[in-house]
Structure 1
Amino acid sequence: MRTTISILGCGWLGTALGKNLLQKGYIVKGSTGTNDRLNELEFTGIQPFYIRIEPELIDIDYFSFFNTDVLVIAIPPKRVENITEIFPGQIKKIIELIRQMKIPKVLFVSSTSVYEPVNKEVREGDEGNPEKPSGRAILKAEKILFDESDFQTTVVRFGGLIGANRNPGRFLAGKKNVPAGTPVNLIHRDDCVAILSQIIEKDIWGEVFNACSPVHPNKKEFYTKASEVSDLPPPEFSDVQENFKIINSDKLVQRLGYTFKYPSPMDYLKELQEWDYRI
């Protein structure tokens, strides 16, 4: 019998994952909170569902979305006041449905914002007290999921997302006083999709993984090149020091036997430049 995957949050990353899983022969259901995206999802072959998640309720058209073997939660916290309470509250509402529908496995798309900038390399288990409210909200959500014994959860903490139409040249274009020496923690969408797919295929549950390109150029090196290949104004850099972190993804590489398609975010910029020349 074919495995069914439901992706809660078919946005920029979730839709790409759904397309990849369809190609591998899975049945894929996908949710969106906007009606105009339903037809777009259906066109890809993903079974579309309207689901809007609020702290007080979940507005859903058909509960059959939650009739699935694996639920992928790919909904980032919104930038709203009290996000440290609102986002965990949304996860609790989702857990009620997971329990009700007896979903056995959950894959939670998390973020490296759960780590403090402690001026060194960080690994799984080094979370501490995240600097931003969104990081604290996500860390709370992870704990809520892992505290559940009715289903298994694996968490993947992605670095900053690049690739497809997400042009990193725009991130800091024209900004002033950007600390030059800060290392970047980025990952290409193709790597994100491959990693999530492999976790599902290899049936790896009850784990937490960092997922970030293993090479970390500094901001000056990366964003100068990003601006150049995108024909955008470069940032103005300074020698000001800022706290930083370097995300270590060794556990992911070892556990999955994973090889990054883009070991350095500079590889993506090189690809963009070569594509520009071909045009």
Structure 2
Amino acid sequence: MKILILGCGWLAESFAIHMKNRGHEVWASTTTSEKYHRLKADGIFSFILDFDCESFPENADLPDQFDFVLNSIPASQKNSLTVIENRFSNIKLFFDHITWGKQVFLSSIGIYPDKDAVFDESYADTAELSSKLLFAEECMLGLTHTIVYRLGGLFGKNRVFAKYFSERICTTGEQRANFVHIDDVVRLVEEASCRVLKHTIYNVVAPLHPKKMDVILASAKKHGYALPLAFEAEDVTQKIVSGKLLQEELGYQFISPDPLQF
């Protein structure tokens, strides 16, 4: 299989190496020379491209046909809508120059509002969905053969939840964890590359939702981080995002179903 990765960040790089080790041909874009050379050293066909300032790289030596595309270009909340509109317009221009069998676009469960509710993929109140993430999803879904994965909070390897609260005050400890381990995301993206899925949008979230406070305590103990200075329950919103649709459709057994074990 010939695979293209757009935006080879932390998760996408793990996927790239995983698929390369399985014998697939992997191409990946990056914005930095450092990562370009690192990917090359790992046997990935890398190229430098910044979708915020360029469209299709006319001089890049790229194939024009791919079996699978993992699109990991973010629609970050820190960016203005104007920046995001330009970014995804350039991505669409890029796609004009290639053909592909299937694309998975990585979005976020941050698209759902922060309120007491259980959210699944049927939630469609556009007035409450994040306008930036919704724009990016709709832009990509306008392309053929595209599936959106809305990822939960992504942890695993060197990304440990307790690290972000070490010797700090935690005000969100009573919230429920809507997390997912990187190993499961890599496997679920691989599943999407070779399976026919029935829907176009899926939440990718571990099935268990312990309190964030308990995750912090467990991961601090496991990985040796100092505890928060205090837990102050300023935000007790009980938002839960369900990933049952994808799990049940694939009959998937999570490698790490419980964030307490991350």
TM-score scaled by length of structure 1? 0.85
Identity of aligned residues (%): 23
Partner residue in 2 for 1:5: 3
Partner residue in 2 for 1:215: 208
Aligned CA distance change for structure 1 residues 93 and 224 (closer, same or farther; 3 Å): same
Aligned CA distance change for structure 1 residues 70 and 81 (closer, same or farther; 3 Å): closer
AA matched with 2:139 = I
What is the DSSP-based 3-state SS (H/G/I as helix, E as strand, rest coil) of the residue aligned with 2:113? coil
- How far does residue 136 in structure 1 lie from its aligned partner after superposition? 2.9
- How far does residue 240 in structure 1 lie from its aligned partner after superposition? 3.4
Partner residue in 1 for 2:223: 230
Establish whether residue 97 from structure 1 lines up as the match of residue 94 from structure 2. yes
Partner residue in 1 for 2:36: 38
**Distance (whole Å) between structure 1 residues aligned to residue 61 and residue 133 of structure 2:** 25
Aligned CA distance change for structure 1 residues 219 and 25 (closer, same or farther; 3 Å): same
**Distance (whole Å) between structure 1 residues aligned to residue 187 and residue 127 of structure 2:** 27
- How far does residue 212 in structure 1 lie from its aligned partner after superposition? 0.8
* 1:247 pairs with one of 231, 241, 251: 241
Deviation per CA, 1:68-94, whole angstroms, max 9, x where unpaired? 222211122356452x23223212211
Contact 1:49/1:65 (CA < 8 Å) preserved in 2?
no
- What aligned pairs does 1:178-197 form with structure 2 within 5 A after superposition? 178-197=171-190
**Distance (whole Å) between structure 2 residues aligned to residue 220 and residue 202 of structure 1:** 37
Contact 2:77/2:132 (CA < 8 Å) preserved in 1?
no
- What aligned pairs does 1:59-138 form with structure 2 within 5 A after superposition? 60=57, 62=60, 64=62, 67-78=65-76, 80-82=78-80, 84-128=81-125, 135-138=130-133
**Distance (whole Å) between structure 1 residues aligned to residue 79 and residue 244 of structure 2:** 35
Contact 1:105/1:205 (CA < 8 Å) preserved in 2?
no
Partner residue in 2 for 1:274: none
Aligned positions, number:
260
AA matched with 1:155 = V
**Distance (whole Å) between structure 2 residues aligned to residue 118 and residue 93 of structure 1:** 34
* 2:154 pairs with one of 154, 161, 183: 161
Structure 1 gap segments, 5+ residues each? 269-279
After alignment, is 109-118 or 16-25 more displaced?
Answer: 16-25
The alignment's C-alpha RMSD in Å is 2.2
Partner residue in 2 for 1:261: 255
Establish whether residue 170 from structure 1 lines up as the match of residue 163 from structure 2. yes
After alignment, is 226-235 or 165-174 more displaced?
Answer: 226-235
After alignment, is 123-132 or 258-267 more displaced?
Answer: 123-132
* 2:142 pairs with one of 123, 138, 147: 147
**Distance (whole Å) between structure 2 residues aligned to residue 130 and residue 22 of structure 1:** 41
Partner residue in 2 for 1:204: 197
When you count helix as a share of all residues, which structure comes out higher? 1
**Distance (whole Å) between structure 1 residues aligned to residue 198 and residue 22 of structure 2:** 20
- How far does residue 118 in structure 1 lie from its aligned partner after superposition? 2.3
Deviation per CA, 1:195-235, whole angstroms, max 9, x where unpaired? 00000011437521101111011022111222233332322
**Distance (whole Å) between structure 1 residues aligned to residue 231 and residue 64 of structure 2:** 48
Aligned CA distance change for structure 1 residues 261 and 117 (closer, same or farther; 3 Å): same
Aligned CA distance change for structure 1 residues 260 and 177 (closer, same or farther; 3 Å): closer
- How far does residue 126 in structure 1 lie from its aligned partner after superposition? 1.5
**Distance (whole Å) between structure 2 residues aligned to residue 103 and residue 179 of structure 1:** 42
Aligned CA distance change for structure 1 residues 66 and 12 (closer, same or farther; 3 Å): farther
What is the DSSP-based 3-state SS (H/G/I as helix, E as strand, rest coil) of the residue aligned with 1:42? helix
- How far does residue 39 in structure 1 lie from its aligned partner after superposition? 1.6
What is the DSSP-based 3-state SS (H/G/I as helix, E as strand, rest coil) of the residue aligned with 2:97? helix
Structure 2 gap segments, 5+ residues each? none
- How far does residue 243 in structure 1 lie from its aligned partner after superposition? 2.4
Contact 1:29/1:65 (CA < 8 Å) preserved in 2?
no
- How far does residue 129 in structure 1 lie from its aligned partner after superposition? 5.3
- How far does residue 52 in structure 1 lie from its aligned partner after superposition? 1.2
Partner residue in 2 for 1:273: none
